[in-house]
Structure 1
Amino acid sequence: MKLAGLKSVENAHEESVWAATWIPATDNRPSLLVTGSLDETVKLWKSDELDLDRTNTGHCLGVVSVAAHPSGYIAASASLDSFVRIFEVDSNSTIATLEAPPSEVWQMRFNPEGTMLAVAGGGSASIKIWDTSTWKLAATLSIPRPEGPKPTDKTASKKFVLSVAWSVDGRRLACGSMDGTISVFDVARAKFLHHLEGHFMPVRSLVYSPVEPRLLFSASDDAHVHMYDVEGKTLIGAMSGHSSWVLSVDASPDGAAVATGSSDRTVRLWDLNMRTAVQTMTNHSDQVWGVAFRPPGAGVRSGRLASVSDDKSISLYDYS
């Protein structure tokens, strides 16, 4: 497996680019790359050319997360203004605006069926789940406080929720916190199941394997990438190679690799059989906040990976 650099767009945004994801192809158009920036805009890019398709405005502070509905028709952007904007991809019309208290919106993801949107709830130490048919709040999943003496404000702040991920079967939801713990929930019963341990610094990004519902990957400020068997509650692999915080992780559609972005300015490709980094890309000149593999489908033959950075650029790679 390998990555080959295809194209980079310098000054893709006017400020740091903190978020990227792919909007799946529909019958009417190919997939699009969507990016969010501290310049308060969301931009949509043509899949293989990285030509700017359009720019969305509407947030009044930086955009920290973007998410795409599996249908390809709807997307969401979350901002430091504590609003989530839901919009139609092709018309750019706003469908709904979801409000949360200040700093309560970080990473967000649609479930595989597209019926729910999970939003990492920051300092509320919870995940909020929104029903996508009504855009009403359906559930709040609170992270249990550690047992023992009454938690102080200091320990409470460590439960600040940064990241969220759905299992491929939609049954489990995982979230990563500032203190390094990963919490796992049974979504149908809205029930906390257990913590996954091993990190001791913020877990900024999580992704489940697209082919194995039990397998979860995490990226942490401790410079490690972990593989967990979620159901067995076990750490089955710890991969090291980055020299600083790992800010983002995504799994390849074939389930054979993960890619990571780091504050060491590199993108790395990891072979999951060997559990080692097989390639390091140095396109960026600043922290890499997001990596995203393009989903397969609609005649897409070759794999693509995108990365975004504090250097305001986007890079596109061929994955084979």
Structure 2
Amino acid sequence: MKLAGLKSVENAHEESVWAVTWIPATETRGALLLTGSLDETVKLWRSDELVLQGTNTGHCLGVVSVAAHPSGVIAASASLDSSIRVFDVDTNATIATLEAIPSEVWKMQFDPKGTILAVAGGGSASIKLWDTATWQLIDTLSVPRPESSKPSDKSGSGKFVLSVAWSPDGKRLACGSMDGTISVFDVARAKFLHHLDGHYMPVRSLVYSPIDPRVLYSASDDAHVHMYDAEGKSLIGAMSGHSSWVLSMDVSPDGGALATGSSDRTVRLWDLGMRAAVQTMSNHTDQVWGVAFRPPGGAGVRAGRLASVSDDKSISLYDYS
């Protein structure tokens, strides 16, 4: 497996680009790349050319997260202005605006069926669940304090929730916190199951294996990538190679590779069979805040793609094979 640089867009935004995801192909168009920036805008890019398709405004502070509905028809952007904007991808019409008090929205993700939007609830130490039919808040999953935490930590700052991930079967939700703990929930019962230990610094990114709903990957400021059996509560692998914080990660659609972005300015490709880094890409000149593999699907689409975004305001696109 390898990455080959295809295209980079310098100054894709006017400020740091902190968020990236792919919008799946529909019957009428191919997949699109969605980026969000501290310049308060969200931009849509045509898949292989990285030609700007549209610019969405509507936030009054930086955009920290973007998420795409599995249908490819709608998407969401979350901003430091304490709002989530849900919009129609093709018309840019606002479908809903979800309010969240300050520091309550970080990463977010639609469930595999597209019926729930899960939001990492920041300072509320919770995951917020929004119904995508009514856009009403249907549940708040609170993260309990780990038993090992010091009683003196009364502020609860360690429970600040930064990241969230759905299992491929939609039965589990995991979230990563500022103190390095990962919490796993049973969604149907709205029940906390257990913590996964091993990190000691913020867990900024989580992703489940697309081929095994038990396997969860995590990326942390401790510069490590962990692989867990999320059901058995066990750490089954630890990978290191970045020289600084691992800010973002995504797993390839075939489940065989992991891509990570770091504050060491690199993107790394990891072979999950070998549990080792097989390639380092140095396209960016500043921290890499987001990496995302393109989902399969769409007419005539065979080649794999990976995109990365950075504080250097650029987007890079790679061929993944």
The TM-score, its normalising length taken from structure 1, stands at 0.98
Aligned to 2:230: 230
Name the CA shift for 1:185/1:81 in 2 (closer, same or farther; >3 Å): same
Is the 1:261–1:307 contact (alpha carbons within 8 Å) kept by the matching residues of 2? yes
Q: Is the aligned partner of 1:301 residue 2:302?
A: yes
Superposed, which structure 2 residues align to 1:145-156 within 5 Å?
Answer: 145-147=145-147, 151-152=151-152, 156=156
Task: Measure the CA separation in 2 of the matches of 1:76 and 1:179.
Answer: 27
1:7-156 to 2 correspondences below 5 Å: 7-147=7-147, 151-152=151-152, 156=156
Evaluate the alpha carbon distance shift between residue 69 and residue 156 of structure 1 in structure 2; reply closer, same or farther with a 3 A threshold. Answer: same
Does structure 2 conserve the Cα–Cα contact (< 8 Å) formed by 1:145 and 1:151?
Answer: no
Inter-partner Cα distance in structure 1 for 2:148 and 2:181: 16
Q: Is the 8 A contact 2:243 2:264 kept in 1?
A: yes
Residue 153 of structure 1 and its aligned partner are, at CA, apart by 5.1
**Which consecutive unaligned segments of at least 5 residues does structure 2 have?**
none
TM-superposed deviation, 1:145: 1.8
Q: Cα 1:295–1:148, aligned 2, differ >3 Å: closer, same or farther? A: closer
Q: Partner of 2:316 in structure 1?
A: 315
User: One-letter code of the match for 1:310?
Assistant: D
Amino acid at match of 2:311: D
Helix, strand or coil at the partner of 2:156 = helix
Structure 2: distance between partners of 1:153 and 1:31:
45
CA distance in 2, matches of 1:223, 1:232: 24
How many angstroms apart in 1 are the aligned matches of 2:298 and 2:52? 21
Question: Residue type of the partner of 2:314?
Answer: S
The SS at the match of 1:158 is: helix
Answer whether contact 1:9 1:313 (CA < 8 A) is retained: yes
Aligned residue type for 1:232: G
After superposition, the C-alpha distances for 1:136-191 in whole angstroms (9 at most, x for unaligned) are: 00100000123479844555001000000000000000000000000000000000
| Structure 2 CA distance for partners of 1:135 and 1:151, relative to 1, 3 Å | farther
Unaligned runs of at least 5 residues, structure 1: none
Quote the offset at 1:30 in angstroms: 0.3
Distance 1:273 1:46 in 2: 32
* Structure 1 counterpart of 2:178: 178
Deviations 1:262-309 (A, max 9, x none): 000000000001100000000000000000000001232010000000
Question: Match of 1:22, SS?
Answer: strand
Q: How does 1:171-250 map to 2 (within 5 A)?
A: 171-250=171-250
**Among the aligned pairs, what percent are the same residue?**
82
Q: In structure 1, how many angstroms separate the alpha carbons of the residues matched to 2:206 and 2:43?
A: 23
1:89 & 1:44 partners in 2: Cα distance?
A: 9
Aligned-residue CA RMSD (Å): 1.1
CA separation in 2, counterparts of 1:68 and 1:89? Answer: 9
Change (3 A) 1:56 1:65: same
For 1:8 and 1:107, locate their aligned partners in 2 and report how far apart those are by CA, in whole Å: 25
Contact 2:146 2:195 in 1 (8 A): no
Conserved 8 A contact 2:8-2:315: yes
TM-score, normalised to structure 2's length?
Answer: 0.98
Q: Deviations over 1:55-114 (max 9, x none)?
A: 000000000000000000000000000100000000100000000110100000000000
Report the Cα distance in structure 1 between the residues aligned to 2:49 and 2:197, rounded to whole angstroms: 41
In 2, Cα distance between equivalents of 1:105 and 1:201: 19
> Does the 8 Å CA contact 1:176/1:206 hold for their aligned counterparts?
yes
Mapped partners of 1:38, 1:65: distance in 2: 10
